[in-house]
């Protein structure tokens, strides 16, 4: 067990240094989903640049996804809400000419362009991002597959994951299906690893990590 824990920590440090994209699987409650995203966005004691894309969650719930002390209006937070055709961008970004209106936010192409714009803005404003400084999350990608052709969604995932990795950031993409589903197997090669979630009754959800390229699966632990 100790050897597996050591291997896990070394892999996680490697991914933080080089940049990574993690597929999150499993059906959990919205509260548990919010807890997961809050955890991965990091505490307000760290100089994080946070980009949140929502395709499932309403604007009224978004604040619950942010870590304590962080709000949508913070200069290091960029929120894209496709559910209500709304977004919240840093004031400094608006001053550079990025419009706060988004008439075609239901378009997957528009979502891709906005995510890339947000990453580029933070990277430029920092003079280059440090490893793991950028945290990107999309609350659910299942709806993207429902509303778009499979090929188009795959192109979107390839483009966004490449951009996140290019600035040594960390990205999380939730696919709320069982971990052994065919969809997971099909899209897994895009990602560096995956986090499997499970929720038994009303208990706190569990998670375990899978690293297919390193033949490693962790034990179940509390989220």
Tens-place pLDDT, residues 44-75: 767 899 999 988 766 667 777 888 888 888 99
CATH architecture of 27-222: 3-Layer(aba) Sandwich (3.40)
Paired tokens of 108: 């997957």
pTM of the entire structure? 0.91
pLDDT of residue 105: 46
Helix axes 108-125, 150-166, angle to 10 degrees: 0
For 70-122, the pLDDT digits (tens) are 888 899 999 998 877 778 889 888 887 665 444 444 589 999 999 999 999 99
pLDDT of residue 81: 86
Tell me: pLDDT of 154 over 90: yes
**Mean pLDDT over each residue of the chain, to the nearest integer:** 88
């Amino acid at each position: 067990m100790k050897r597996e824990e050591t291997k896990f920590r070394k892999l996680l440090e490697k991914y933080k240094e080089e940049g990574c994209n993690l597929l999150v699987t499993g059906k959990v409650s919205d509260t548990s989903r919010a807890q997961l995203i809050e955890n991965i966005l990091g505490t307000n004691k760290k100089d994080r640049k946070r980009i949140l894309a929502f395709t499932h969650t309403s604007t009224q719930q978004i604040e619950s996804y942010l870590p304590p002390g962080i709000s949508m209006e913070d200069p290091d937070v960029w929120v894209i809400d496709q559910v209500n055709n709304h977004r919240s961008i840093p004031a400094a970004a608006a001053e550079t000419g990025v419009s706060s209106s988004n008439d075609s936010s239901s378009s997957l192409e528009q979502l891709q362009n906005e995510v890339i714009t947000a990453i580029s803005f933070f990277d430029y404003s920092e003079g280059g991002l440090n490893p793991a400084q950028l945290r990107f999350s999309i609350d659910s990608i299942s709806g993207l597959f429902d509303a778009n052709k499979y090929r188009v969604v795959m192109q979107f995932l390839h483009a966004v994951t490449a951009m996140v990795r290019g600035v040594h950031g960390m990205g999380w993409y939730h696919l709320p299906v069982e971990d052994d589903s065919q969809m997971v197997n099909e899209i897994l090669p895009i990602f560096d690893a995956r986090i499997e979630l499970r929720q038994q009754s009303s208990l706190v959800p569990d998670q375990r990590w899978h690293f297919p390229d390193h033949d490693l699966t962790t034990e179940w632990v509390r989220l």
